[in-house]
Amino acid sequence: MDRTLHVLAIAPDASFVEELERALSELPEVRFVLDAERDPRRGVEVARDRQPDVVCLEMGADPAAVRSVASDVAAGSPGSLVVAAYRPQDMGQDERSAAVLIDVMRASVRDFLRRPVSADEVAGILRRHFEAAASRRAGMGRITCVLSNKGGVGKTTLATNLACDLARSAPDRVLLVDGSLQQGACAALLDLSPETSIVDAARELERLDERLLRSLTLPHESGLRLLAAPENAVAGAAVDDLALSRVLSVARRAFDHVVVDTFPLIDAVTVAILDVADVVLLVVNDMVPTVIGAVELLDVVGRLGVPSDRVHVVLNRNQPGFRGRLRAVDVATRLDRGIDAVLPYRRSVLSSMNTGVPHVMQARPWSGFRRSLRRLERDLILGRAPQAVAPPEPSASDAAVEGVVP
């Protein structure tokens, strides 16, 4: 399995959650994140907001209650595989047992687990359904999370320029989400004055759909649409991890590309973004404190269950060269992994932050920054085969990692 499996257990019985977690842990090829809700109504809300891969329902003495919860889960999270768990001894006579199971299957339950839960049965269910689940997600938009361990390394600049450049090829099909709830800057870098923000989307979760989400975004001349950050950190408190999960779930149905800028802090909101991201761009610069922090951040992201093949390191040279500056090979060595993209220093990139016109919108096609950004998009975002493109002008310090950026 090439990604982390998100499982939600809706079960009043805590022992069922323990059985399920133990069974999943016995499958070495499966990376998983398990959430649990004892209250069925709350479980339905979590399923709707987080769109898990699998929802496991505990069947109690009342099959009608399971039917109701299963139907609500399927309506709110149509891409989830709904599984019901039961104890054979609780089902009564064989004919009654079969009738109950058939009745529950009519309510959107697509498979069953016998209790106590075994790893073999869980593995069988995943084999039967996982390929179908993957194909359902294939037609949705891709979410790119731009991450850093500290401010000032160029994270927001990269997110903004990336979204602008993607939008030039897919106008009105790219959404930039300013997920930096404490201090968002995307609107300023785009010279936009938002009247709505992600807070408005969070307040409308019950009726949020593709059309409403679009109405809350601002168009930009590049062709992207912006879902702005809150006005301030106090307003941002209204947006929690469940709300952001729901917003991104709707966004990937409405847009081909969703680029999410984040606040340099690993909290519940950032974890929710990482949970649904198809690509994570971790931005570092060539300064020792940033690199040390990036080492720790990579470890945390891995512990959160984000597959390593989704995480890409971007070295942003956001300041002019100076004696003692770290070479790209030094950064790669300290991180103990390759660098996936290098963005060269350009004074005009810094100037664009004050003018509100992203650099990529005025850069010449052959400029080093724009060519590097295009290669990043091609190789990391779009997943296309490399084209015959002239490489950027490498500095002597980058010569040792020639080939890191094809």
Q: What pLDDT does 386 receive?
A: 39
Q: Are residues 121 and 236 in the same domain?
A: no
Mean local confidence (pLDDT), 53-73:
83
Q: How much is the average pLDDT of 70-77?
A: 88
Q: 302-335 burial by CB neighbour count: b if 16+ within 10 A, else e?
A: eeebbeeebbbbbbbbbeeeeeeebbbbbbbeeb
Question: 187 and 256 share a domain?
Answer: yes
Report the alpha-carbon distance of residue 281 to residue 310 in Å, rounded: 8
What separation in angstroms does the CA of 209 have from each of 167, 202, 214, 281?
22, 12, 9, 27
Tell me the one-letter amino acid at 404. V
Does residue 406 lie in a domain region?
no
Domain boundary residue, one of 70, 103, 138: 138
The burial of 222, by beta-carbon neighbours within 10 Å (0-12 exposed, 13-18 middle, 19 or more buried), is given as buried
Q: How far is residue 190 from each of residues 64, 156, 200, 218, 355, measured CA to CA in Å?
A: 53, 11, 20, 10, 9
pLDDT single digits (tens) 285-311: 999 999 999 999 999 998 888 888 899
Q: What is the percentage of the chain residues whose pLDDT exceeds 90?
A: 50
Segments in 170-287 forming alpha helices (H):
186-189, 198-203, 210-215, 233-236, 241-254, 268-276
Residue 65 CB contacts under 8 Å (≥ 6 apart), including other chains: 40
Query: What does the chain come to in residues?
Result: 406
The CATH number assigned to the domain holding 95 equals 3.40.50.2300
Residue where a domain terminates, one of 120, 138, 156: 138
Report pLDDT digits (tens) over 23-49: 999 998 888 889 999 999 999 999 988
Last residue of a domain, one of 113, 138, 163: 138
Cα dihedral 133, 135, 138, 140 sign: negative
Domain span holding position 351: 142-401
Domain count, the chain: 2
Span 322-377, pLDDT tens digits: 788 888 999 999 999 999 999 998 888 888 889 999 999 988 888 888 899 999 99
Neighbours of 183 (CB within 10 A): 15
pLDDT digits (tens, 9 = 90+) for 196-233: 999 999 999 888 999 999 999 999 999 999 999 999 88
pTM over 0.75: no
pLDDT per residue as tens digits for the range 225-268: 999 999 988 998 989 988 898 899 999 999 999 999 999 988 88
> pLDDT class for 385, splitting at 50, 70, 90?
very low
Calpha distance 209→20 (Å, rounded): 33
Average pLDDT, the chain: 85
* pLDDT score at 102: 58
Whether the per-residue pLDDT at 95 is higher than 50: the answer is no
pLDDT of amino acid 131: 59
